[in-house]
């Protein structure tokens, strides 16, 4: 037998062997999956870190940052996910990465879902408050995301797929609170119209009640090889981030730690190719990990991240054990671009901002919110009257996934879960671009940090219903 004949026989044997385990669809298509986690840690330090008002530079790496990529192919349709350890990523970076990946893999640009996890301790790639964009890293990041998708595609192998919904109400808290009378609520624009306070003082007698809900669901999508070897798990939970990372340190926060702990829980630490655990951010614009009714437990750095990751990984694992795998499922993805209004400042607001900045002089202004928001006001004066935003809806068998390019409020995610024709459905936020916070009109009326106009919150008040109804229509379209 020459080498070619031998290879051919081996391939036939492999196909015969696999077909005993995996059922094709009626056209003979097999389901395939491939995954790869690519390192996106910057190669040089220091780098600017976003996620706070002030300028922060990182000089230390605690744990590596990754773009965790997953490619699914059912013979008709191929889709790719790239979930990146970053606070927020602008559309230009995602678009560049998608184009590059598409050229190499043939996966259509609009069949790629890319998002940021929202770890607050990654590299600045979006101008926000006083953090400066690391332009060289932006190029590196786009290249790396593309490479991650290309490698995941190169690892496609016959696979089966399933999903289940777990529950963990213990690690999510609504962070917007109504306060009792006598609690000062002045905003950075000198107004006292806010009715809620974001991140109020813990265990304060002035706390009244949270201004919104939580979403306890931990949804788990799993793909495994024909012999049962786990390829990847893509989970979804609505938690902003955890934090407790020392200043000046890069970390993937609980998103990276979840991947590590889940891998250990299912005994997938030594698999070849390596198992890829992924945690996506759900709708967590108004959610964090702080139990405001209790005093801080005063943990060591990274302890809270480990605790949360372990608890959420356990909940994901409980769901994972219930998964019924399918050999083949329908796969659909649609993308829409919608025009969204911008809350631009009026002439008086611009005058006031200019006066404040004249007095304050050049930055950095550290924590002076009045000055920081005056600078934001002038930046927003340069914004166009409307922006285009990308939305996606996916169907994987009976599972629905939608995306928003925003820090989306939990109310939106809950409404979509409830009204979607696909059960279960979940939302991945900060996907395919970055357009700031997305409070509902009701939450806008309550005011608070997430509504204060800045590059982190600038969409028109009526944006959330527009995005929600468009996503629901898109889900209806693919559910048929
Ligand atoms: Zn945030």
Cα–ligand 1 centroid distance for 411 (angstroms): 16
How far apart, in whole angstroms, are the C-alpha atoms of residue 81 and residue 425? 16
307-310 contact pairs (CB < 8 A, 24+): 308/171, 308/239, 308/242, 308/254, 308/257, 309/242, 309/254, 309/257, 309/258, 309/260, 309/261, 310/261
Across 83-97, average pLDDT: 98
For the ranges 36-45, 128-137, 303-312, which has the lowest average pLDDT? 128-137
Model confidence over 334-362: pLDDT tens digits? 999 999 999 999 999 999 999 999 998 88
Residue 371 has pLDDT above 70, yes or no: yes
Across 147-173, average pLDDT: 98
Across 63-75, average pLDDT: 98
Cα–ligand 1 centroid distance for 33 (angstroms): 32
How far apart, in whole angstroms, are the C-alpha atoms of residue 62 and residue 287? 25
Cα–ligand 1 centroid distance for 54 (angstroms): 14
Mean pLDDT value across the chain: 94
Cα–ligand 1 centroid distance for 423 (angstroms): 28
54 exposed, middle or buried (CB, 10 Å; 0-12, 13-18, 19+)?
middle
Q: Per-residue confidence at 22, pLDDT binned at 50, 70, 90?
A: confident
Cα–ligand 1 centroid distance for 419 (angstroms): 26
Q: Which residues contact 365 (CB under 8 A, 6 or more apart)?
A: 130, 371, 372, 375
Cα–ligand 1 centroid distance for 383 (angstroms): 21
Q: Between these two residues, 255 and 364, which has the higher pLDDT value?
A: 255
Cα–ligand 1 centroid distance for 406 (angstroms): 10
Residue 3 has pLDDT above 90, yes or no: no
Residue 11 has pLDDT above 90, yes or no: no
Cα–ligand 1 centroid distance for 434 (angstroms): 12
Cα–ligand 1 centroid distance for 447 (angstroms): 17
Cα–ligand 1 centroid distance for 285 (angstroms): 7
Tokens of 327: 């050999």
DSSP-derived pairing of the beta strands 176-179 and 47-49: unpaired
- Please report, for residues 34, 148, 414, the alpha-carbon distance to residue 276 in angstroms, rounded to integers and kept in the order given: 9, 12, 27
Across 397-416, average pLDDT: 98
Per-residue pLDDT at 9: 47
Cα–ligand 1 centroid distance for 382 (angstroms): 23
Cα–ligand 1 centroid distance for 286 (angstroms): 9
How far apart, in whole angstroms, are the C-alpha atoms of residue 440 and residue 213? 13
* CB distance 352 to 373 below 8 Å: no
Residue 320 has pLDDT above 50, yes or no: yes
Cα–ligand 1 centroid distance for 119 (angstroms): 8
Residue 430 has pLDDT above 80, yes or no: yes
Cα–ligand 1 centroid distance for 407 (angstroms): 7
Q: Between these two residues, 73 and 51, which has the higher pLDDT value?
A: 73
Q: Per-residue confidence at 5, pLDDT binned at 50, 70, 90?
A: very low
Q: Between these two residues, 8 and 320, which has the higher pLDDT value?
A: 320
Per-residue pLDDT at 21: 55
Q: In what order do the strands lie in the sheet with 386-396?
A: 331-341, 386-396, 399-403, 425-428
Cα–ligand 1 centroid distance for 18 (angstroms): 45
Cα–ligand 1 centroid distance for 113 (angstroms): 20
- Please report, for residues 129, 165, 182, 375, 397, the alpha-carbon distance to residue 364 in angstroms, rounded to integers and kept in the order given: 10, 45, 32, 11, 51
Cα–ligand 1 centroid distance for 322 (angstroms): 32
* CB distance 175 to 239 below 8 Å: no
Across 247-255, average pLDDT: 97
For the ranges 73-87, 117-131, 331-345, which has the lowest average pLDDT? 117-131
Instruction: Looking at 133-223, list the stretches that DSSP marks H as alpha helix, in order from N- to C-terminal side.
Output: 135-154
Cα–ligand 1 centroid distance for 148 (angstroms): 25
Residue 137 has pLDDT above 70, yes or no: yes
Per-residue pLDDT at 6: 53
Per-residue pLDDT at 20: 43
In this prediction the pTM is 0.94
Q: Which helix (H) or strand (E) holds 313?
A: helix 303-320
Across 234-254, average pLDDT: 97
At CA 420, angle to CA 418 and CA 424, rounded to 5?
A: 80
Per-residue pLDDT at 16: 43
Cα–ligand 1 centroid distance for 105 (angstroms): 33
Residue 2 has pLDDT above 90, yes or no: no
């Amino acid at each position: 037998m020459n080498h070619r004949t031998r290879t051919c026989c081996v391939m036939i044997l492999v196909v015969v062997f696999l077909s005993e385990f995996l059922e094709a669809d009626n056209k003979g298509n097999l389901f395939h999956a491939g995954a790869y986690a690519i390192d996106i840690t910057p190669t040089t330090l220091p780098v600017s870190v976003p996620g706070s008002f002030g300028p922060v530079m990182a000089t230390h790496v605690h744990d590596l940052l990754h773009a965790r990529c997953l490619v699914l192919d059912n013979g008709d349709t191929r889709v790719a996910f790239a979930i990146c350890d970053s606070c927020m990523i602008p559309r230009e970076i995602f678009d560049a990465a998608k184009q590059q990946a598409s050229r190499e893999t043939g996966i259509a640009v609009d069949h790629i879902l890319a998002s940021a996890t929202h770890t607050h301790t990654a590299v600045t790639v979006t101008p926000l408050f006083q953090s400066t964009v690391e332009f060289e890293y932006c190029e590196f990041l786009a290249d790396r995301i593309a490479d991650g998708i290309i490698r995941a595609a190169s690892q496609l192998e016959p696979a089966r797929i399933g999903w289940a919904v777990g529950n963990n109400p213990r690690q999510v808290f609504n962070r917007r609170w109504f306060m009792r009378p006598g609690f000062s609520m002045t905003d950075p624009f000198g107004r006292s119209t806010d009715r809620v306070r974001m991140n109020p003082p813990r265990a304060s007698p002035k706390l009244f009640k949270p201004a919104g809900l939580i979403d306890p669901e931990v949804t788990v999508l799993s793909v495994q090889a024909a012999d049962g070897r786990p390829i990847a798990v893509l989970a979804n939970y609505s938690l902003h981030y955890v934090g407790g990372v020392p200043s000046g340190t890069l970390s993937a926060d609980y998103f990276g730690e979840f991947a590590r702990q889940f891998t250990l829980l299912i005994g997938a630490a030594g698999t070849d190719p390596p198992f890829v655990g992924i945690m996506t951010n759900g709708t967590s614009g108004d959610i964090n990990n702080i139990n405001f009714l209790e005093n801080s437990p005063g943990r060591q750095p990274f302890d809270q991240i480990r605790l949360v990751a372990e608890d959420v990984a356990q909940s994901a694992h409980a769901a994972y054990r219930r998964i019924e795998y399918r050999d083949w499922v329908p796969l659909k993805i649609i993308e829409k671009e919608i025009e969204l209004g911008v809350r631009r400042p009026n002439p008086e607001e611009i005058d006031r901002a200019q006066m404040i900045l004249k007095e304050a002089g050049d930055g950095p202004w550290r924590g002076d919110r009045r000055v920081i928001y005056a600078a934001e006001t002038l930046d927003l004066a340069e914004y166009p009257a409307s922006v285009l935003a990308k939305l996606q809806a996916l169907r994987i068998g009976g599972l629905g996934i939608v995306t928003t390019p925003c820090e989306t409020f939990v109310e939106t995610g809950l409404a979509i879960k409830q009204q979607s024709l696909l059960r279960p459905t979940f939302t991945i936020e900060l996907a395919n671009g970055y357009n700031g916070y997305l409070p509902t009109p009701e939450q806008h009326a309550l005011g608070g940090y997430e509504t204060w106009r800045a590059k982190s919150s600038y969409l028109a008040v009526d944006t959330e219903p527009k995005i929600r109804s468009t996503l629901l229509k898109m889900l209806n379209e693919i559910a048929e």
